[in-house]
Amino acid sequence: MPKITVDGKTIEAKDKQMILQACNDAGIAVPQYCYHPGLSIPASCRICLVEVEGVPKLVPSCQTPIRDGMVVYTKSSKAIANQKQVMEYLLINHPLDCPVCDQAGECSLQDYSYEYGRSQSRFEEDKVKNPKKDIGDHIYLYADRCIMCTRCVRFTREVTGTAELYVDGRGHKEEIDIFPGRPLNNKLAGNVVDLCPVGALLDKEFLFQQRVWLLKRVPSVSPVDSGGENIFLEYNEGVIYRIKPRYNPEINVWWISDDTRFAYKAVNAENRLKVAKKRELGALAPTSFRDALAAAEKGLKEIVASQGPGSIYAMLSPLMANEEAWLLGRAIRVIDPEALLILGPTPTTGQDEVFKDPRNGRVTFTIKGEKVPNAAGVRRIMQKLGGPQATFDDVLANQLPALAKLKGGWIVGGYLSNWIATDMPEFFKAGFRVVQDILPNALTERADVLLPAAAWAEKDGSWENFAGKIQPFLAATAPPDGARREGDVYYALLGRQGLYNAETIRHEMGEPFAAVHLPAEPDSLPLPQFVEL
Ligand code: SF4
Ligand code: FES
């Protein structure tokens, strides 16, 4: 491994690395704007220039390969003078609007200005002013804040291959823009907001919602498809305000799809189910959660007592956490050892959407066609539990002999949009139905017992992605008042003491779940929530 000396400290680098990459890996801070590890290296911003022994001029550290024995100075007087000059140049036209800019608090320009900037501007002429521009369904461009790093342009050319953005003009008239009639609406477009080192590209949904330093975050996994994109849920005072990518070199690298980015909207939806209900004299009437749960258990036990084993089912949603599916499967089999386990609907678009770098054909990102996060995990749980089982397709085909005997069951939804078609399958129209869901739909209207549930962002658990990778996620917020986390409900059903704990259940489930652990040092952990059923 080549070794280089940076500011007097010897560090190990990888073959073919650039100086900046080696410094980043070693935790040596070198200012950088245009460099991003997932994009090509134009070396255009010039703030990363460093002094190399034996080289007369400063060199761009992001574009200069290391040599064994190289001696680099990132804080020499020449290097610092350059950093200060670049900062002064960049700030000539940059508005002083940090107090109203969403990026404040996570802005590289702000940070480096603090380190290298001048406290007073020497520029006396008028700054260039550009109005805010609407460049896509989710994105505004504040062009006068742009420092022309071109990360956004390169992203649309090298990652999505859609090339909606370009640099218009030259010199001080240079500006990022979209081509006429081609808004920035590709399915990964939101990533340009994360890439922009300043507040030039902003998320319309997050605009003026929160100051970023108020946000806390927990590691989570995308709920929108079986890809298992790693994310952070960012929240404040019980409300999720945005979703950001969490780097995972094996799955999503630095990017997430826009569907993932805006998945928190279903969690914050106004029409979330909040009131437990049970059917009385033909109508659904509000009741306490404890009473509704007792009615659910009683109803199912009465069916088994009168109809014998194999007369009830549990429909396990592919949005359930593995731990929840395991607990419900066990609970239903306590009531009826022959209960049928059914894997709930697994919607798919038929094929994956693949993004490629047009320069070399390399696949840069894939949006999976299977639009639920945990069909693989629930299948694995069902195998572990054994006994009678079916898929939702079996239910629709209605040819399994076991289906004819069913007189009632427990149905879990949790989908982020309406999952029940208006022409509801016959299966859902008959028998005693306990429905656990987060949003209203035709089935929640027809339930005999309705139990408002928690969305994925409100509970701990794990999901298995299409490739068999089991990944844990944490709760960011509590479920709405009146709704209960499924794990706590199943603990009560099984007569277990205490609160649901995903890690404990994973141990109980054995391999491969027992080996699944939370990412090291998550940014914050939610406090356990006391739930009285
Ligand atoms: S809009 Fe942001 S990402 Fe794009 S060139 Fe300007 S500063 Fe860079
Ligand atoms: S980060 Fe090296 S020139 Fe921009």
3-state secondary structure 230-270: EEEEEEECCEEEEEEECCECCCCECCCCHHHHCCHHHHCCC
Confidence band for 521, pLDDT divided at 50, 70 and 90: low
pLDDT computed for residue 278 by the predictor: 97
d(CA 21, CA 10): 15
> How far away, in angstroms, is 419 Cα from ligand 2 center?
48
pLDDT computed for residue 422 by the predictor: 67
The mean per-residue pLDDT over the stretch 40-61 comes to 97
CB atoms within 10 A of CB 14: 11
**Angle, alpha carbons 50-157-250 (nearest 5°):** 80
Query: Does position 153 have pLDDT exceeding 80, yes or no?
Result: yes
> How far away, in angstroms, is 93 Cα from ligand 1 center?
14
> How far away, in angstroms, is 137 Cα from ligand 2 center?
30
User: To test the ligand 1 pocket, which listed residue (40, 112, 151, 202) has its Cβ within 8 A of the most ligand atoms?
Assistant: 151
pLDDT computed for residue 171 by the predictor: 82
Query: Does position 134 have pLDDT exceeding 50, yes or no?
Result: yes
User: To test the ligand 2 pocket, which listed residue (17, 24, 33, 85) has its Cβ within 8 A of the most ligand atoms?
Assistant: 33
Contact 50, 57 (CB under 8 A): no
Q: Which of 75-84, 93-102, 435-444, 457-466 has the lowest mean pLDDT?
A: 93-102
d(CA 235, CA 525): 12
Atom of ligand 2 nearest to the CA of 46: 3
pLDDT computed for residue 430 by the predictor: 83
Query: Does position 528 have pLDDT exceeding 50, yes or no?
Result: no
d(CA 3, CA 11): 6
User: To test the ligand 1 pocket, which listed residue (94, 196, 202, 254) has its Cβ within 8 A of the most ligand atoms?
Assistant: 196
User: In the 8-state DSSP scheme, what is residue 371?
Assistant: -
Query: Does position 523 have pLDDT exceeding 60, yes or no?
Result: no
| Helix (H) / strand (E) containing 293 | helix 289-307
> How far away, in angstroms, is 46 Cα from ligand 2 center?
5
pLDDT computed for residue 525 by the predictor: 40
Contact 176, 200 (CB under 8 A): yes
pLDDT computed for residue 118 by the predictor: 77
d(CA 167, CA 157): 12
pLDDT computed for residue 533 by the predictor: 40
pLDDT computed for residue 125 by the predictor: 84
pLDDT digits (tens, 9 = 90+) for 351-369: 999 999 999 999 999 999 9
Query: Does position 522 have pLDDT exceeding 80, yes or no?
Result: no
The mean per-residue pLDDT over the stretch 488-502 comes to 94
Within 6 A (CB) of ligand 2 lie 32-35, 43-48, 60, 62
pLDDT computed for residue 531 by the predictor: 39
The residue whose CA has the least distance to atom 2 of ligand 1 is: 196
User: To test the ligand 1 pocket, which listed residue (91, 128, 141, 149) has its Cβ within 8 A of the most ligand atoms?
Assistant: 149
User: Mean pLDDT score of the chain, rounded to an integer?
Assistant: 93
pLDDT: which is higher, 531 or 181: 181
Ligand having the closest approach to the CA of 168: 1
- Which distant-in-sequence residues (6+ apart) come within 8 Å of 51 by Cβ? 58, 59, 72, 73, 74, 76, 78, 79
pLDDT computed for residue 424 by the predictor: 73
Ligand having the closest approach to the CA of 23: 2
Q: Which two tokens stand for residue 509?
A: 């489930």
For 73-104, b/e burial (b = at least 16 CB within 10 A) is bbeeeebeebbbebbbebbebbbeebeebbbe
Q: Which two tokens stand for residue 271?
A: 């029409």
Atom of ligand 2 nearest to the CA of 42: 3
Contact 94, 142 (CB under 8 A): no
Cis peptide before 99 (omega within 30 of 0): no
Atom of ligand 1 nearest to the CA of 147: 7
Contact 151, 196 (CB under 8 A): yes
Q: Which of 79-83, 107-111, 200-204 has the lowest mean pLDDT?
A: 107-111
Within 6 A (CB) of ligand 1 lie 146-152, 176, 195-198, 200-201
pLDDT computed for residue 520 by the predictor: 62
User: To test the ligand 1 pocket, which listed residue (150, 159, 174, 177) has its Cβ within 8 A of the most ligand atoms?
Assistant: 150
> How far away, in angstroms, is 487 Cα from ligand 2 center?
49
Query: Does position 119 have pLDDT exceeding 80, yes or no?
Result: no
pLDDT digits (tens, 9 = 90+) for 322-338: 999 999 999 999 999 99
> How far away, in angstroms, is 127 Cα from ligand 2 center?
24
The mean per-residue pLDDT over the stretch 441-456 comes to 95
> How far away, in angstroms, is 132 Cα from ligand 1 center?
14
Tell me the angle at which helices 289-307 and 486-493 cross, rounded to the nearest 10 degrees.
Answer: 50
pLDDT computed for residue 149 by the predictor: 97
Query: Does position 300 have pLDDT exceeding 80, yes or no?
Result: yes
pLDDT computed for residue 429 by the predictor: 80
Q: Is 515 exposed, middle or buried (0-12, 13-18, 19+ CB in 10 A)?
A: exposed
Give me the torsion for CA of 9, 13, 18, 21, rounded to 10°.
Answer: -80
- Which distant-in-sequence residues (6+ apart) come within 8 Å of 504 by Cβ? none
Which H, E and C letters describe 100-146, residue by residue?
A: HCCCCCCCHHHHHHHHHCCCCCCCCCCCCCCCCEECCCCEEECHHHC
| Helix (H) / strand (E) containing 490 | helix 486-493
> How far away, in angstroms, is 27 Cα from ligand 2 center?
17
pLDDT computed for residue 173 by the predictor: 83
Q: Is 386 exposed, middle or buried (0-12, 13-18, 19+ CB in 10 A)?
A: exposed
CA nearest 35: which of 5, 66, 57, 60? 60
Strand partners, 167: 176
pLDDT digits (tens, 9 = 90+) for 212-269: 999 999 999 999 999 999 999 999 999 999 999 999 999 999 999 999 999 999 999 9
- What pTM, to 2 d.p., does this model score? 0.93
pLDDT: which is higher, 80 or 422: 80
- Which distant-in-sequence residues (6+ apart) come within 8 Å of 519 by Cβ? 219, 246, 472
For residue 466, give the 3-state DSSP assignment: coil
